[in-house]
Structure 1
Amino acid sequence: MSHNNDQDTSPTPEYEVEIPSREALLEAIEARLKPTTFEEIIERFKLDDERQHIGLKRRLRAMERDGQLIYTKANAYGLPSRMNLIKGRIIGHRDGFGFCHPDDGGSDLFIPPSQMYSVLHGDRVLVQEQGSDSKGRREGRIVRVIEPRQGGIVGRFFIDHDLGIVVPDDSRLNQDILIPEDARNGARHGQIVVVDITRRPNRRTSPIGEVSEILGEHMAPGMEIEVAIREHDIPTEWSPATLKEIEKFGETVPQEAYADRVDLRDLPLVTIDGEDSRDFDDAVCAEPDGDGWRLWVAIADVSYYVRPNTSLDKDALERGNSVYFPNFVVPMLPEKLSNGLCSLNPDVDRLCMVAEMRISAKGKLRESKFYPAVMKSHARLTYNKVADIIDGDPKLRQDYEHVLNQVDHLHSLFKVLKAARQQRSAIEFETLETRFIFNAQRKIESIEPVRRNVAHTIIEECMIMANVATARLIEGHEEAGALFRVHEPPSAERLTNFRSFLAELGLTMKGSDDPSPADYAAVLAQVGERPDAELIQTMLLRSMQQAVYSPDNAGHFGLALEEYAHFTSPIRRYPDLILHRAIKALLKKQQGPNQALAGAWMYPTEQLDELGQHCSMTERRADDATRQVADWLKCEYMQDHVGEEFTGVIASVTNFGLFIRIDDLSIDGLVHVSNLDNDYYRYDNERHLLIGENSRRVYRLGDKVRVRVRSVNLDERKIDLTLLAAESPAGKDRMPGEENAGGADKAARKPRKKSSAKGKRGKSSSKSSSRNKGSSKK
């Protein structure tokens, strides 16, 4: 459409008269050297009808709300870009300041506390850059809120001198919400509630809200999950249309679905999952093939049941993935499918998509083919059982005699694949995971370390091979759009920080400014037996980029693979479902339509870009929510251990103190700088250490320590510790009060003040493996 003449107007049902399009208005305003008045716009487009004036005003206001235009003090419309204005989203901070993350992906702008009074975390705003603050950060001034944050706010309700107040659980929302008496809706003092904002904050008044939901008492079992679900906007309700749609599914595979499928029911496929898994989306089988191997990876054919653009599909897309909490799951698909008709349960017919691969004696993928099939799982095995079978447990080997050859074949193939993985220098982590053990009242009885065994890695290698084969298939057919699993190399800043951390421990990493996965793998090989090996692995992980979903293949740095896609978990990951549809579309193009390829779908490129961003977001959302629940539960557990002593390691050094990771529990607590021995401490950011000005005592990353639990604040997920003793990696004990020579060239004097009431929390970094079904399945 042309936008350069007066005829760029069109009748719009919304306004019932011809008015200029948004594009035409933007072009007209951009063509002028200064902001344009309403009268000048009318004259420019020759709008004589009064109804056109009304419609134009509405459109201009809508463009203001969307941040496309700014209405100036001179009563004229201008372009944000010409006024040095930036559109972005507010990220609050517990200490009162915030940041604006620009929509265009540029660097964040610092928003001082004085500017945060009139906005809330999550608002989309227009910000004007105001130069730099004292720390050299770009600073911004809030011009306008263009899109208020959506959804309710979770917090704890208090009554103080007859005044109702909700303190948000999310520390990034640092303004208390006032609740009028007639808006409490039965909430009692101390309860956890959800609040809707009815009047936004400004420089003079706090936000005002209404209680929309009462979640329950503060310490009620499961409350931490209820809070996380709402705080992270995780969908939990199925639409009425979806509930009606799933009524048509029975308990068994429909007769018509068998048509045109390869019959693999006699192939000894088995599932290998965690003890408490209920959704089995992958089964495996291997056998010798000449000088190499043949591997079948059969994946639940979710795409047959979940068709594109149905209500069920839309609900699954909104969720993006299943979310695994301790003893509770928010599934991507209704339970009738996820634990029933799609799940590869033993001894029942199930529909599947199969990747059949031939693998060389050196673990290289020779060729692969994909096809729809019907299968029957010959055994539901667990990781522990498989590991015990491999170790020679006589009873288990007898109980599972009918699949014994299969387990042995898989183990032999694994050795080949493992060697190939090491040959290409993929980065291998052996970090400690934990699981929560609950009693009958759903209170935490213990936190137990969980270590992976050989069965985890067997399945992991099989899944990686299937994902590589799938990615190569899509890479070779540009018309079959799907999402790759992309893991890019570390950024320059993260790389520099990691090298600095290693240097402090006397370690180095090769590769100059462009290290390879082999350089990272070499670091892990150096630290295998060190007592601080887990910390080093954690820091290595922090140095890496976050993996994302993208239609553009950029390879997988961590796995040292040129192409990688997620094919193996369509029950719990939407990108896998997209990939299954793309494979079916390719097969349909090659073979022609048939019943087995129902659900085939070709996604346009522009839609894949949006899907990649959305699925990456839902994955981060799930990670954040499960991490929050883990933090809560670990603090709840530590409440019963105040005063007790533990050993640990310094996991992080900051200018306000030391974060200590307690051994075996993966719980982080804070030794605040004010609780260290009487001295002034300088913080060396580059070398990750605190040094006493007078005592020259040094505390650095990796030091082994003994601590006592000082206090626990469950509301803030904060654990305070007292340092009893410290030992350097070299083995020299440093008891509080002893001198330890050391130096710090670049240092900052420790702050004199303690952290605020919404101060730094003790955050735990490990998720409970008991909730993360398939944690080893890549």
Structure 2
Amino acid sequence: MSQDSTSQTPQYDVEIPSREAMLEVITKAIKPVPYQDIISHFKLNDERQQIGVKRRLRAMERDGQLVYTRNDAYGLPDRMDLKKGVVIGHRDGFGFVQLDEGGQDLYLPYHQMQLVMHGDRVLVKAGSADAKGRREARVVRSLSDEKREIVGRYFFEQGLSLVVPDDTRQGQDLIIPPEHVNGARHGQMVVAEVLARPSRRSSPLARIKEILGDHLAPGMEIEVAIREHGIPHEWPDNLKREADKIPDEVLESDKHGRVDLRKLPLVTIDGEDARDFDDAVYCQPDGKGFRLWVAIADVSHYVRPGTALDREAHGRGNSVYFPQQVIPMLPEKLSNGLCSLNPQVDRLCMVAEMVIGARGKLMEYSFYPAVMNSHARLTYTKVAAILEGDPALRKEYDAVVPHLESLQQLYKVLRQARDRRGAIDFDTVETRFIFNAQRKIERIVPVYRNQAHMLIEECMIMANVAAAQFVEKHNGGALFRVHDLPDEDRLMAFRMVLGELGLTMPIQGDPTPEDFAKVLEQVADRPDRELIQTMLLRSLQQAVYSAENRGHFGLSLAAYAHFTSPIRRYPDLILHREIKRILSETLPGMPGLEGKHVYDESALGELGPHCSHTERRADDATRQVDEFLKCEFMQDHVGDEFEGVISSVTNFGLFIRLNDLMIDGLVHISNMTQEYYHYDADRHLLVGESSGKVYRIGDKATVKVASVSLAERKIDFELLAVEHSSAALPPRKRVDLKRSRGKGSERGKGTSRGGKPSGKGSGPSRGKRSDGKGNKNAKKHSGKKSGKGPAKQKKRRS
């Protein structure tokens, strides 16, 4: 045996063939290879070697590399037409397999879902299509043998203890043996650890690992979301010990040799309730252009590679902002203390100093470590008022007013440059929950961006662009913020919807950001502009982190990287370390470059997907909490009437978005007028067969709140009136009137009859109908989270 074809097992202190060596043998064979043939091929006569090989083969089975056949042989999944993927459950009992290789999901009928759990990795064999055109799959084996933790509600009924999962995609209740109840009381929310996985004859067994508290207790929705999405929320003991050694104030020795910017009137501009300030700005005229300083907290000085702080920051990936609560990426001693650019105290920072031309072009830039002292802690509201001429505030902050006016002039120049390059400018309205003393929602209010928000956003974009160009110039390795071209299918669907709304989006060749920007110009004065912006967002790809720079489509930029938020985003910390590494090579001997680190191609290849995953995890968790709180708020409004617009049309009904509250709910087709309805999937229309009425996205609607389910996080409306865009189906295309009674086709044109409930309604469309949102993945492609600290909103610092 060659040296590279074997490896040593510590349990037996013997050499056995490596995975690669055994895979090579099995790959070359024309049929699955029996265990004895593998032993004979490698001439393994030692019993310890044979036991080691058997265990390694089983591990390769668990990882989906091999399949153990009925003939006691090992084969390759690909040669058996087996596919790997992740199970996506549905609350109605069936599910789908999202394939690793991409492409259309495979359908798992109810009896197959009894063998697996939502979120499991599985090996499946694809079968033929069913009557509805779905390609079914058979589960060959689960690849998720590790223990799972599931959040749910504990019940004790008729002598049986069980946990009902909070996530309705987990279609099976967990049986809790008496010895594993661990003090849980009937109705409490708990975390259950799965001990035995489901089978055809038995439900999964579990033990109560953690008791969260009473159902519907204030803040319970956050506790549930944290655990359901696997968000790290406790600091390990070794990290606490490490953090305790960090000084409370900046040491004089740490300031030595850095560029001294303490007299430069840098200021922070953030939300009213922000507690961690990671960026400060200052601008002054420079010839016909401007000189802009963006100072960012030097987190890399304190969070060094390989430390417990760094490992935890990597695992968390980013801070997670819930209403009135934040799960920070870094301990409070750093995030709100030593790394926060608080006013009137010295702080270490990394600075991007830029020269910007009269037309908004980045002419020059430089990066360096510095020490600064923030001259003022300003808020968006105050800065906007100052720039609008508020006399009292201008007097209170007279020392910085001229600098704010310079920032305002720079913003106007950058805004014009943004418009010229055709960047997409979203101006969607967000909402904010206002809580009372009992942490119940008093009201939901819209939050609008003012000039100060947009001013800071443009400054941050410019610093991010400079950082990306700096790294590319020096062939450095960091994570870029990548936003790819829109998906063709989603783009086509969006253009079809625009056509139904009387709008056009002419595209010659590949779409450009300017094409989308022109659509937003067309709808600027329309009452349904928020809805159209949301649909536009859904047509775009999701921005990700990648070691490969593919540009940022939405911002219309060739290179873009996140530099401005290392307190709450790990990719920014990676970028700071890389900038320091480059500076240490180009400016040898320069102090303040501690914390640099070399990331090779392999490491960056893993960091990109990881950081993208933690970002999506945070978005999903915060969305879940928002949906729950909106349902809780609407419970007090059952029977009330609201004005809204149709935000989505499906084969099972209409989703209505309420004006101002930005809350979505469903008008189920069974509760609509007593007639047949036909769904046109291509044009997103629901058409009454007898009346000819057309229900389309953007129609104004009056609804009454019929019911609210906190458990399923959904809101049902009763349709009172609709202001139709058209009285009848447009003549240019008739809808296919193939009729299906009961449940409509979930993936195309379908028919349901009002007045007769069509089964569960939605049919097997993937995912949980949360809060009535037709598409839960609508997401801003750029922007950093705003409002830092409790009850904060999300920042739009791209």
Q: 2:743: which partner in 1?
A: none
Q: Tell me whether 1:145 sits opposite 2:129 in the alignment.
A: no
The aligned counterpart of 2:346 is 349
Give the counterpart of 1:171 among 162, 168, 172: 168
The answer to whether residue 763 in structure 2 is matched with residue 763 in structure 1 is no
How far off is 1:447 after superposition? 0.4
Identity of aligned residues (%): 61
> Contact (CA 8 Å) 1:705, 1:726: kept in 2 or not?
yes
What is the aligned counterpart of 1:539 among 527, 535, 538? 535
- In 2, the alpha carbon distance for the partners of 1:552 and 1:686 equals 35
CA distance in 1, matches of 2:626, 2:7: 55
Residues 529-548 of structure 1: per-residue CA shift (max 9 Å, x gap): 11111110000000000000
1:651-666 to structure 2, matched below 5 A, reads 651-666=647-662
- Does residue 40 (structure 1) correspond to residue 60 (structure 2)? The answer is no
Asked whether the equivalents of residues 274 and 774 of structure 1 are also in contact (C-alpha less than 8 Å), the reply is: no
1:500 lines up with 2:500 in the alignment: no
C-alpha distance in 2 between matches for 1:774 and 1:70: 47
Mean CA deviation greater in 179-188 or 245-254? 179-188
Equivalent residues of 2:627, 2:770 under 8 A apart: no
Distance (whole Å) between structure 2 residues aligned to residue 156 and residue 652 of structure 1? 32
1:582–1:600 contact (8 Å) kept in structure 2: yes
Q: Distance in 2 between matches of 1:773 and 1:245?
A: 31
Does 2:526 align with 1:521? no
SS in 1 for 2:565: coil
CA distance in 2, matches of 1:54, 1:760: 49
**For 1:384, which of 381, 384, 390 is the aligned residue?**
381
Report if the CA contact (8 A) 1:352-1:373 is conserved: yes
User: Bigger CA drift: 272-281 or 511-520?
Assistant: 511-520
In structure 1, the residue matched to 2:740 is none
| 2:735 is the alignment partner of 1:745 | yes
The alpha carbon displacement at 1:69 in A equals: 1.4
Do residues 629 (structure 1) and 625 (structure 2) align?
yes
Write the distance in 2 (CA, Å) between the matches of 1:475 and 1:14.
47
Contact 1:277 1:773 in 2 (8 A): no
Q: Following the alignment from structure 1 to structure 2, what is the Cα–Cα distance between the partners of residues 774 and 114?
A: 43
Structure-2 change in CA distance of 1:251 and 1:50 (3 Å): closer
* Residue 675 (str. 1) matches residue 665 (str. 2): no
* Structure 1 stretches of at least 4 aligned residues deviating more than 6 Å after TM superposition: 756-759, 765-769
| CA distance in 2 between partners of 1:459 and 1:134 (Å) | 55
1:329 equivalent to 2:326? Answer yes
- Say whether the 8 Å CA contact 1:657–1:671 is kept in structure 2: yes
Q: Which of residues 696, 701, 705 is equivalent to 1:709?
A: 705
**Further displaced range: 153-162 or 661-670:** 153-162
- Cross-structure match for 1:463: 460
Distance 1:11 1:442, change over 3 A: closer
CA 1:514/1:137 → structure 2, altered by over 3 Å: closer, same or farther?
A: farther
Select which of 15, 21, 24 maps to 1:18: 15
2 CA distance for matches of 1:677 and 1:31? 64
Pairwise CA distance, 1:10: 4.3
Q: 1:409 is matched with which residue? A: 406
- Structure 2 residue aligned with 1:735: none
Note the alpha carbon deviations across 1:147-170, whole angstroms, 9 max, x for none.
246541011122332322221111
- Provide closer, same or farther for how the CA distance between residues 360 and 95 of structure 1 changes in structure 2, counting only shifts above 3 A: same
SS of the equivalent of 1:427 reads coil
How big is each residue's C-alpha offset from its partner over 1:178-231, in whole Å with a ceiling of 9 and x where there is no partner?
223332222222211111112211112221211111111111100000000000
Q: What aligned pairs does 1:722-737 form with structure 2 within 5 A after superposition? A: 722-729=718-725
Aligned to 1:441: 438
Instruction: State the Cα distance separating 1:133 from its structure 2 match.
Output: 3.2
- Which residue number in structure 2 is paired with residue 72 of structure 1? 69
One-letter identity of the residue aligned with 1:438: F
Contact 2:324 2:792 in 1 (8 A): no
Match of 2:303 among 306, 317, 321: 306
Contact 2:294–2:351 under 8 Å retained in 1: yes
Structure 2 residues not aligned, in runs of 5+: 737-748, 780-784
Question: Secondary structure at the residue paired with 1:402?
Answer: coil
- For 2:601 and 2:38, the matched residues in 1 are separated by 37
| 1:776 shift after superposition | 1.8
Taking the aligned partners of 2:792 and 2:540, their CA distance within structure 1 comes to 21
Alpha carbons 1:109, 1:138 under 8 Å: kept: yes
Q: Taking structure 2 as the reference length, what is the TM-score of the superposition?
A: 0.93
Matched, 1:111 2:116: no
- Residues 631 and 708 in structure 2, CA contact (< 8 A), matched pair in contact too: yes
Moved more, 666-675 or 73-82: 73-82
**What's the secondary structure of 1:63's corresponding residue?**
helix
TM-superposed CA distance for 1:104, in Å, is: 3.5
* 3-state SS in 2 of match to 1:507: coil
What is residue 685 of structure 2 aligned with on the other side? Answer: 689
Task: State whether residues 120 and 149 of structure 1, in contact with CA within 8 Å, keep that contact through their aligned partners in structure 2.
Answer: no
On the 8 A contact 2:151/2:227 being kept in 1, the answer is: yes
Contact 2:694/2:724 (8 A) holds in 1:
no
Separation in 2, partners of 1:147, 1:123: 6
Residue pair 1:281, 1:342 contacting (<8 A) in 2 also: yes
| C-alpha deviation, 1:2, in angstroms | 5.5
CA-to-aligned-CA distance 1:494-544 (integer Å, 9 cap, x gap) = 111001110111111121451110110000000111111111000000000
Q: Look up the SS of the partner of 1:597 in the other structure.
A: coil
Match of 2:560? 564
Q: Does 1:775 align with 2:795?
A: yes
Find out whether 1:375 has 2:384 as its counterpart.
no
Deviations 1:222-269 (A, max 9, x none): 000000000000001111111011111222101211122000000010
SS at 1:490 equivalent: coil
Task: Out of 537-546 and 81-90, give the one that drifted further.
Answer: 81-90
Q: Which residue of 1 aligns with 2:198?
A: 201
C-alpha contact (below 8 Å) 1:691/1:742 kept by paired residues: no
The secondary structure found in structure 1 opposite 2:449 is coil
Q: State the partner residue of 1:643.
A: 639
Aligned partner of 1:734 in structure 2 is: none
d(CA) in 2 for partners of 1:94 and 1:595? 58
**What is the CA-CA distance between 1:756 and the residue it aligns to?**
6.8
Deviation at 1:31, TM superposition (A): 1.6
Matched, 1:288 2:293: no
- 1:736 corresponding residue in structure 2: none
| Aligned mates of 1:535, 1:708 — CA distance in 2 | 20
Q: Shift of residue 610 of structure 1?
A: 0.4
Q: 1:248 to 1:497 in 2, by over 3 A?
A: same
Aligned counterparts of 1:756 and 1:197: Cα–Cα separation in 2 = 31
Q: Is the 8 A contact 2:628 2:771 kept in 1?
A: no
The amino acid of 2:317's aligned partner reads G
Classify 1:322/1:10 alpha carbon distance in 2 versus 1 (closer, same or farther; 3 Å).
closer
- Contact in 2 for aligned 1:121/1:149 (Cα 8 Å): no
Q: What is the CA–CA distance in structure 1 between the aligned matches of 2:483 and 2:147, rounded to whole Å?
A: 31
Aligned to 1:615: 611
Equivalent pairs, count: 766
Contact residue 273 and residue 773 of structure 1 kept, 8 A: no
Distance, in Å, in 2 between the alignment partners of 1:448 and 1:10 is 62
Judge which range, 492-501 or 34-43, deviates more. Answer: 34-43
| 1:107, distance to aligned residue in structure 2 (A) | 4.0
Counterparts of 1:360 and 1:689 in 2: how far apart (Å)? 49
Q: Contact 2:630–2:771 (CA<8 Å) still a contact in 1?
A: no
Counterpart residue number, 2:180: 183
Q: Distance in 2 between matches of 1:552 and 1:135?
A: 40
Structure 1 stretch displaced more, 227-236 or 35-44: 35-44
1:498 alignment partner AA: F
Deviations 1:112-137 (CA, angstroms, capped at 9, x unpaired): 22211110011111111213333444
Match of 1:95 in 2: 92
Offset of residue 350 of structure 1: 0.3
Q: Quote the RMSD (CA, aligned, Å).
A: 1.9
User: Are the aligned partners of 1:450 and 1:769 in contact in 2 as well (CA < 8 Å)?
Assistant: no
Aligned partner letter, 1:640: D
Counterpart amino acid of residue 476 in structure 1: K
Cα shift at 1:79: 1.3
